[in-house]
Amino acid sequence: LHPNYLVATNRSSIFSGHHGQLSLTAVFLDEYHDRLFLGGKDVLYSLRLDHTNPDSKEIYWPPLPGNKDDCVQRGKDSQTECGNFVRLLQPYNRTHLLACGTGAFQPMCAYVYVGGELYTGLTADFLGRDSVIFRSLGGRSTMRTETDQKLLHDPKFVAAHLIPDNDDRDNDKVYFFFTEKAMEAGDREGAIHTRVGRLCANDAGGQRVLVNKWSTFVKARLVCSVPGPHGINTHFDELEGIFLLRGKDEKNPDVYAIFSTISNVFQGFAVCVYRMADIREAFNGPFAHKEGPDYQWGAYEGRVPYPRPGVCPSKITNQPGRQFGSTKDFPDTVLQFARGHPLMWRPVYPAMRQPVLVKANVPYRLKQIVVDRVEAEDGQYDVMFIGTDTGTVLKVIALRSGNSLDTEEVTLEELQVFKVPTPITSLDISVKRQALYVGSPLGVAQLRLHRCETYGKACAECCLARDPYCAWDGTSCTRYTSLSKRRYRRQDIRHGNPALQCMDQNLSVEGLDVTEERVVYGAENNSTFLECIPRSPQATVTWLLQRDDRKEEVR
């Protein structure tokens, strides 16, 4: 679809707050209560999910006067930096919501709420220099990382998620996704790497070493790159967004990640997909080790103490005569080794060792991603919705043919959601409502995941769109369902070939030519704006100039 299609036809529903300026900083989609909770500057909102009856409720939540005055006295801007910016919205129980605000400070954080405990990656001081991973709330003691550049070196936290290892809840682990300065990069001083960090949810710290500090924290590099000339890969090192595509197996979600390049010469973006098996394999591999300041980094080849650093106290670690009911029972040698070796030697590579999508030299930055796994006539497709810093949402699928490593990127739609360019700060997907919720500083928009009727009124047009959500049902292009009458259903995502799909739909071969001709007039020796909006990015537009006896293509 044309980028301005949504704005022009008003097919999105937008909420901008009761005062016209939301300054959105947090979103929580609660499908159980059928509500959308929003947090902004000094305010909380609760909306109905369907937007037909917004029923919006507002709570005014400013910072305490003393906190705001202190913030201003420290040189911060009273309007843009010293408000109470709501950073966290999570369910506390069936009737209450946990909301956290900055209280006139503005830390950036990633968080996940697990069994009544809050795990947060943030900067803990006013100057933003003390970067930590915290555990708070709940019945156990507060935990944090040590202040040590080996653990966290100027990190930028992007996301945090609980992912169980197996059916033993004692093995549950919290994963953090972030970027940081890479100490192992050697001559490339200041090099940035993307990390996946991991710690045990039942980590209680040590008894004598690492008291009230994380004792199971380990991290590994996430690599996202494309082959370049002379065997030199182009790396996308800056992590922008993370989405976990969860299936029936809660232990093995697919991790979708948006990356950007760190270069003044080349601006590019990539989406890589990681398998949990590959992430766990890296954490089970050798530790990174450096013997001294004049030595190179390498794999640790010495004896690793037991229980292996990074594992959780559980049935797996217990042996006859050696019971480890808590990390406080771990030997000091284990904790000392963990303190000195948080980094794994082997990186984590994406599936097929390459991105599923690459964008280079585009007039926007890719910032947010959500993914919907869609059932189509010939299998499943992962439909990516990607938000940019200019307010557009890209709807994309990546196709791989047979055993080939090459992928074909198919852009199904490019939607301009808001009337003026504004960064997309959040994307949330409701499979139940078949809706996408797009957040920006200007407000929140609700879009349908599919708009099949816009692809035209012919079988060939519907097939050429290659949208997994849509199929020709014998009379129109509609939402694909596996229960619809198979006799009339026509869809071709992989090839977009209407000749194979639509020949029995009372069409001649000539009828498969879905060329739509429009005549536009212009005055000679005058300027005229000519516009032709294609129904789908798969359509091509050709301009012809009518001469006296023939038509000439305008190039």
What share of the chain in percent tops pLDDT 90?
50
Average pLDDT over residues 418-437: 94
Contact predicate 131/144, CB 8 Å: no
Average pLDDT over residues 410-418: 93
If one compares 52 and 372, the residue with the highest pLDDT of the two is 372
pLDDT at residue 524 above 80? no
Q: What's the half-sphere exposure (Cβ side, CA atoms, 13 Å) at 398?
A: 20
Measure the CA angle with vertex 215, ends 210 and 220; round to 5°.
Answer: 130
What share of the chain in percent tops pLDDT 70?
85
pLDDT of residue 531: 67
pLDDT at residue 375 above 50? yes
Average pLDDT over residues 198-219: 95
One-letter amino acid of 29 = L
pLDDT of residue 509: 46
pLDDT of residue 519: 73
Other Cβ atoms less than 10 A from the Cβ of 399: the count is: 16
pLDDT of residue 250: 93
If one compares 90 and 245, the residue with the highest pLDDT of the two is 245
Tokens of 505: 């739909």
34: left (phi over 0), alpha (psi -120 to 50) or beta: left
If one compares 183 and 382, the residue with the highest pLDDT of the two is 382
pLDDT of residue 78: 84
If one compares 490 and 357, the residue with the highest pLDDT of the two is 357
pLDDT of residue 13: 83
> Where does the pLDDT of residue 165 fall: very low under 50, low under 70, confident under 90, or very high at 90 and above?
very high
Average pLDDT over residues 196-207: 95
Average pLDDT over residues 311-322: 80
Cβ burial of 327 (10 Å; 0-12, 13-18, 19+) is buried
Average pLDDT over residues 177-205: 90
pLDDT at residue 25 above 70? yes
pLDDT of residue 227: 84
> Where does the pLDDT of residue 8 fall: very low under 50, low under 70, confident under 90, or very high at 90 and above?
low
Contact predicate 468/381, CB 8 Å: yes
Contact predicate 330/256, CB 8 Å: no
If one compares 17 and 302, the residue with the highest pLDDT of the two is 302
> Where does the pLDDT of residue 187 fall: very low under 50, low under 70, confident under 90, or very high at 90 and above?
low
What's the helix, strand, coil split of the chain in %, to 5? 10, 35, 50
Other Cβ atoms less than 10 A from the Cβ of 41: the count is: 23
Lowest pLDDT segment from 214-228, 284-298, 500-514: 500-514
> Where does the pLDDT of residue 258 fall: very low under 50, low under 70, confident under 90, or very high at 90 and above?
very high
Chain segment 30-60, per-residue pLDDT in tens:
998 889 999 998 999 999 887 655 678 899 9
d(CA 68, CA 79): 10
Chain segment 493-502, per-residue pLDDT in tens:
988 888 888 8
Q: What's the half-sphere exposure (Cβ side, CA atoms, 13 Å) at 372?
A: 24
pLDDT at residue 536 above 80? no
Sheet holding 43-48, edge to edge: 26-30, 35-40, 43-48, 57-60
pLDDT of residue 129: 72
pLDDT of residue 528: 62
If one compares 537 and 281, the residue with the highest pLDDT of the two is 281
pLDDT of residue 70: 86
pLDDT at residue 513 above 80? no
pLDDT of residue 321: 65
pLDDT of residue 185: 80
pLDDT of residue 103: 81
pLDDT of residue 448: 94
Ordered by where they begin, the domains of the chain are 109-361 (2.130.10.10), 453-512 (3.30.1680.10)
d(CA 174, CA 115): 12
pLDDT of residue 127: 62
Chain segment 274-292, per-residue pLDDT in tens:
999 999 999 999 999 998 8
Chain segment 90-126, per-residue pLDDT in tens:
887 778 888 888 887 766 677 777 778 888 887 766 6
Lowest pLDDT segment from 56-70, 211-225, 276-290, 326-340: 56-70
Average pLDDT over residues 477-497: 81
Global confidence as pTM: 0.87
pLDDT at residue 547 above 80? no
pLDDT of residue 93: 78
pLDDT of residue 503: 76
Q: Identify which of 357, 383, 370 has the alpha carbon closest to the alpha carbon of residue 470.
A: 383
Average pLDDT over the chain reads 86
pLDDT of residue 526: 62
Contact predicate 257/270, CB 8 Å: no
Other Cβ atoms less than 10 A from the Cβ of 157: the count is: 24
pLDDT of residue 406: 79
pLDDT at residue 510 above 60? no
Chain segment 347-369, per-residue pLDDT in tens:
999 999 999 999 998 999 999 99
Place of tokens 């001083």: 189
